[in-house]
Amino acid sequence: MSAGRDDDPRIKGIKSKIRVVPDFPKPGIMFQDITTLLLAPNAFKDTIDLFVERYKNKNISVVAGIEARGFIFGPPIALAIGAKFVPLRKPRKLPGEVMSEEYILEYGSDCLEMHIGAVEQGERALVVDDLIATGGTLCAAMKLLERAGAEVVECACLIELPDLKGRERLNGKPLYVLVESH
Amino acid sequence: MFAAETELKEDPRLQEIFEAIRVIPNFPKPGIMFQDITTLLLNHKVFKDTVDMFVDRYRDMDISVVAGIEARGFMFGPSIALAIGAKFIPLRKPKKLPGEVISEAYELEYGTDCLEMHVGAVQPGERAVVIDDLVATGGTLSAAIKLLEHVGAEVAECACVIGLPQFK
């Protein structure tokens, strides 16, 4: 299934609060800015509620959020569904022993890290980020969790850019998004 | 002000919060005892207690803005904002925020860094709380306060999970 709950009346309000900033971070990119959504408490709450309603009865014990905007949405979801929150970070930010997963960027590569021991074998996990574009970061996130023995139940994002076909990079893992942007 | 110095010092949640924080020696460099809150985030009950303690304090203080400092302030601020009906404002390192920003430079041990906030995020007269995981020298918090005051907000308080009293 592609987009989120088109029939849910809250989606329209959420979409209207997302600001598109042209030519950021470079010319030609239409940047999807969620900070304006965070300024509208009702819409921000609706966003979290939509995810919580979907996941609260799915026995999810781990919500993993991708630095840094995944840190804004992940923890409220984790708290509401009784799960732990695991931050997935850029290199050298996490202080303890970490495992790393490299992923390809348009030019070069980057790396995502997770604390060893944060996730246990057999845990059911959700990966959260504000947006999925090419799917490279989400894919690295899933690999980290799977390497630690967790089962990734779903990836959850507010926004999908379907033209970039990120969904296809998730190796068949389900993706749930609230809004699409073409 | 430390919660342990107030009426909260008998609160059993404080001890559990304290014990949930992991100290990592010599990170990011020799001699530093790093206060790692990620272990707190792994403990749902303690994480919830942490947020609840802040929410209990701020819910009746007419706070309309919770400003969180990148990146660990993002892990606590939004939940507090949602619970008290305030907006959440991310305060970020340079060039991360896409719209028009205002900047405030602050001193590091070696060199300087910069904190940015979106123009228009906060209105004059709004009451704000600044959130971060930890306060050491106070340089970052100080820059955050200046950003908010620059646009006419009143910073009611700064709130951190951990305070390092030796830094004042």
Per-residue pLDDT for A167 more than 80? yes
Tell me how far apart the alpha carbons of residues B36 and A95 are, in angstroms, rounded to a whole number. 7
Per-residue pLDDT for A4 more than 80? no
CA count, 13 A, side-chain hemisphere, B14: 11
| Residue of A30, A49, A61, A85 best to disrupt the B interface, most CBs of B under 10 A | A85
Please check whether residue A119 is in contact with residue A87, taking contact to mean a CB–CB distance below 8 angstroms: no
Alpha carbon of residue B5 to chain centroid: 19
CB contact under 8 A, B24 and A95: yes
Q: What is the mean pLDDT of residues A17-25?
A: 96
Q: What is the mean pLDDT of residues A88-107?
A: 94
Tell me how far apart the alpha carbons of residues B66 and B90 are, in angstroms, rounded to a whole number. 9
* A38 C-beta neighbours (distance < 10 Å), count: 27
What SS3 class is residue A15?
Answer: helix
Per-residue pLDDT for A118 more than 90? yes
Please check whether residue A8 is in contact with residue A178, taking contact to mean a CB–CB distance below 8 angstroms: no
- Which candidate, A105, A96, A86, places its Cα nearest to that of A148? A86
Q: Write down the pLDDT at residue B168.
A: 63
Tell me how far apart the alpha carbons of residues A103 and A109 are, in angstroms, rounded to a whole number. 6
Q: Which residues of B are tagged catalytic?
A: 72, 109
Tell me the torsion sign for CA atoms A63, A68, A72, A75. Answer: positive
Token pair listed for B30? 């020799």
Q: What is the mean pLDDT of chain B?
A: 94
Q: Write down the pLDDT at residue A3.
A: 46
Per-residue pLDDT for B69 more than 60? yes
**Which class for B59: exposed (0-12), middle (13-18), buried (19 or more C-beta within 10 A)?**
middle
Q: What is the mean pLDDT of residues A89-108?
A: 93
Q: What is the ipTM score, two decimals?
A: 0.95
B78 phi/psi in degrees, rounded to 5: -60, -40
Please check whether residue B72 is in contact with residue B37, taking contact to mean a CB–CB distance below 8 angstroms: yes
Torsion angle (degrees, nearest 10) of CA A57, B40, B79, B49: 90
Contact residues, chain A, for B98 at CB < 8 Å: 21, 24-25, 31, 33
From B27, B38, B99, residue closest to A21, measured CB to CB: B99
The answer to whether residue B86 neighbours chain A at the CB level (below 8 Å) is: yes
Q: Tell me the β-bridge partners of A98.
A: A115
Q: Write down the pLDDT at residue A74.
A: 98
Q: Write down the pLDDT at residue B165.
A: 78
Contact residues, chain B, for A79 at CB < 8 Å: 44, 47-48, 51, 79
Closest Cα in chain B to A78: B44
DSSP state of A144: H
Contact residues, chain B, for A73 at CB < 8 Å: 78
Q: Write down the pLDDT at residue B98.
A: 97
pLDDT tens-digit map of B112-135: 999 999 999 999 999 999 999 999
* B104 C-beta neighbours (distance < 10 Å), count: 20
Tell me how far apart the alpha carbons of residues B67 and B117 are, in angstroms, rounded to a whole number. 9
pLDDT tens-digit map of B132-157: 999 988 999 999 999 999 999 999 99
Per-residue pLDDT for B166 more than 50? yes
Cis bond before residue A25 (omega within 30° of 0): yes
